[in-house]
Amino acid sequence: MTIDALRHSPEQLRARIAAELERARNRSTGLTDAVDGDDLVRQHSPLMSPLVWDYAHIGSQEELWLVRDVGGREPVRPDIDNIYDAFQTKRADRPSLPMLNPDEARVYVSTVRDKALDVLEHTPLEGRRLVEAGFAFGMIVQHEQQHVETMLATHQLRQGPAVLDAPAPPPGAPAAETEVYVPGGMFLMGTDLDPWALDNERPAHAVGVEPYWIDTDPVTNAQYAQFIADGGYADRRWWTPEGWAHRSNAELTAPQFWHDDGTRTRFGHVEPIPPDEPVQHVCWYEADAYARWAGKRLPTEAEWEMAARYDPESGRSLRYPWGDEDPTDEHANLGGRYLQPAPVGAFPKGTSPLGVRGLVGDVWEWTSSDFTPYPGFAMFPYPEYSEVFFGPDYKILRGGSWAADPAAVRATFRNWDYPIRRQIFSGFRCARDV
Ligand code: AVJ
Ligand code: FE
């Protein structure tokens, strides 16, 4: 949601927001109800919070922004603010916090939700930037959906019998050409128009891009397996010094969750690695090394966005590769409906005007770019969303994974993480100079 929000009547906008809040809650509740209380409070990896922490943190952010700030209502649980402040306790240390237990967390998030819906009903969605076009509600919807994706990463790291299941994704189709030529030039990067776009996606600004080639599809498991078979992990030539050091210390030999016998573990199921699916669970260093082995490089963030949005016919930048309409099930693999990437070419309707496929959904795509503010960036509404992370420590990922929700992905959306991280649903595509 989206530009359309501006054309809605206040009643339609409120109904849309309520539906988005409910959709997010169905997903987060589904992921917590899937396991027992012991699994909810346990730490499945030092990289992740206990699932019940994410769940109550979702409620806490909703209380802070919607109940207290937008609604001006009395705090629900001021005593637990510190516990659910992500900046006060690192993920690794969260199990020792005096967290709400699962039953208390469920009561808390639903109490907050009832109040947030009451605030939604009684607040004019205009007159104050925070609520204009429902922004604060959209921010909270996106926040919950982002934590749903984080909780899916926790589920993937969890040991024990499988508890999540999904249908198989639709079949793929090979691309006529494996690379697309982009003539470069000026294009409009970022957005001023998307009412729910976050601060780091703003403002829209013209960027000049040199001509380049970009892969039609993300790198697949079969392609990545060739890099492994060719000794890519043992050949220092393909790695930066930092990448080689990390590869050595972490003893990387394959994407996370792969086994030597051609199988992988996915949400507790051991299964053959599908050859035509985009590779996932690779870190930036692995993506960068693969690209060098292939005689290519990772795209810059601007190259990725131009490939995803630029319409050479109109000269405009679209909201999504397929146009300005919100994603449907036919455009992209989003929202966790298959619990895995789809084979490349499975969503022909998602192709960009330049002919690049699979840009939105399936896997987050690493780019070569650091997370830096756009020219004219203005923090809004709080510095801990983006501003405190700007700098060379984080690499940008684009496009959203199969786990990302349509509400939390756009062609302008920017994600970031450390270059060593790979428990996220991360893959990549390659580019090269002309
Ligand atoms: C934008 C995915 C990097 O999960 O750290 C969640 C989103 N910010 N709660 C993250 C976020 C605050 C953020 N990422
Ligand atoms: Fe958060």
**266-294 tens-digit pLDDT:** 999 999 999 999 999 999 999 999 999 99
Burial profile 403-412: b = 16 or more Cβ within 10 angstroms, e = fewer = bbbbbbbbbb
Quick one: tokens of 255?
């994407």
Range of the domain at 43: 3-157
CA of 406 to the centre of ligand 1 (A): 16
pLDDT given at position 342: 99
What phi, psi does 100 have (nearest 5°)? -60, 140
Quick one: 67 and 8 in the same domain? yes
Ligand nearest the Cα of residue 61 is 2
147-174 mean pLDDT: 97
Quick one: 97 and 139 in the same domain? yes
CA of 2 to the centre of ligand 2 (A): 22
DSSP notation for 105-133: HHHHHHHHHHHHHHHHHHS-SSSSTTTGG
Quick one: 183 and 135 in the same domain? no
Q: Is residue 249 part of a domain?
A: no
Quick one: tokens of 205?
């600004």
**109-149 tens-digit pLDDT:** 999 999 999 999 999 999 999 999 999 999 999 999 999 99
Q: Which amino acid is located at 326 in the chain?
A: D
pLDDT given at position 250: 98
- Find out whether 290 and 230 touch, Cβ atoms under 8 Å: no
pLDDT given at position 5: 55
Quick one: 186 and 149 in the same domain? no
Q: Is the dihedral of CA 363, 364, 366, 367 positive or negative?
A: positive
Ligand nearest the Cα of residue 151 is 1
Q: Which amino acid is located at 429 in the chain?
A: R
The reply, when asked if residue 199 is annotated as ligand binding, is no
CA of 142 to the centre of ligand 1 (A): 10
Q: Is residue 305 part of a domain?
A: yes
DSSP notation for 390-418: -EEEEEEEES--TTS-GGG--TT-EEEE-
Q: Which of 48, 146, 151, 379 to mutate to test the pocket of ligand 1 (most atoms within 8 A of CB)?
A: 146
Quick one: tokens of 425?
């649903």
Q: Which amino acid is located at 340 in the chain?
A: Q
pLDDT given at position 2: 54
Dist CA 327 CA 324 (whole Å):
9
Check pocket membership of 415 for ligand 1, CB cut-off 6 A: yes
71-90 mean pLDDT: 97
Strand partners, 16: none
Q: Is the pLDDT of residue 8 over 90?
A: no
Quick one: 129 and 214 in the same domain? no
Quick one: 308 and 393 in the same domain? yes
Q: Which amino acid is located at 54 in the chain?
A: D
The reply, when asked if residue 266 is annotated as ligand binding, is no
Dist CA 368 CA 212 (whole Å):
14
pLDDT given at position 417: 98
Nearest CA, atom 8, ligand 1: 385
206-224 mean pLDDT: 99
Nearest CA, atom 7, ligand 1: 146
Quick one: 326 and 186 in the same domain? yes
The enclosing domain of 323 has a CATH number of 3.90.1580.10
DSSP-derived secondary structure letter, 319: S
237-254 mean pLDDT: 98
Quick one: 329 and 214 in the same domain? yes
Dist CA 166 CA 328 (whole Å):
18
Q: Is residue 270 part of a domain?
A: no
Q: Is the dihedral of CA 307, 308, 314, 316 positive or negative?
A: negative
The reply, when asked if residue 16 is annotated as ligand binding, is no
For the chain, the average pLDDT equals 97
Quick one: tokens of 106?
């469920």
The reply, when asked if residue 44 is annotated as ligand binding, is no
Q: Is the pLDDT of residue 3 over 60?
A: no
Please state the atom number of ligand 1 nearest to the C-alpha of residue 416.
3
CA of 300 to the centre of ligand 1 (A): 21
Quick one: 47 and 183 in the same domain? no
- Find out whether 44 and 268 touch, Cβ atoms under 8 Å: no
Quick one: 94 and 199 in the same domain? no
The enclosing domain of 95 has a CATH number of 1.20.120.450
CA of 9 to the centre of ligand 1 (A): 31
Check pocket membership of 150 for ligand 1, CB cut-off 6 A: yes
**Contact residues for 161 (Cβ-Cβ < 8 A; gap 6+):** 268
Q: Is residue 226 part of a domain?
A: no
DSSP notation for 210-264: --EEEESSPPBHHHHHHHHHTTGGG-GGGS-HHHHHHHHHTT--SSTTB-TTSEE
383-405 mean pLDDT: 98
Sheet containing strand 431-433, strands side by side: 179-182, 212-215, 431-433
Query: What is the number of H-type helices and E-type strands within the chain?
Result: 10, 11
Please state the atom number of ligand 1 nearest to the C-alpha of residue 147.
6
The reply, when asked if residue 147 is annotated as ligand binding, is yes
**54-64 tens-digit pLDDT:** 999 999 999 99
Q: Is the pLDDT of residue 330 over 70?
A: yes
**Contact residues for 21 (Cβ-Cβ < 8 A; gap 6+):** 113, 116, 117, 120, 137, 140, 141, 144
Neighbours of 354 (CB within 10 A): 20
CA of 73 to the centre of ligand 1 (A): 26
- Please name the residue ranges forming H helices in 158-229: 221-229
Q: Is residue 140 part of a domain?
A: yes
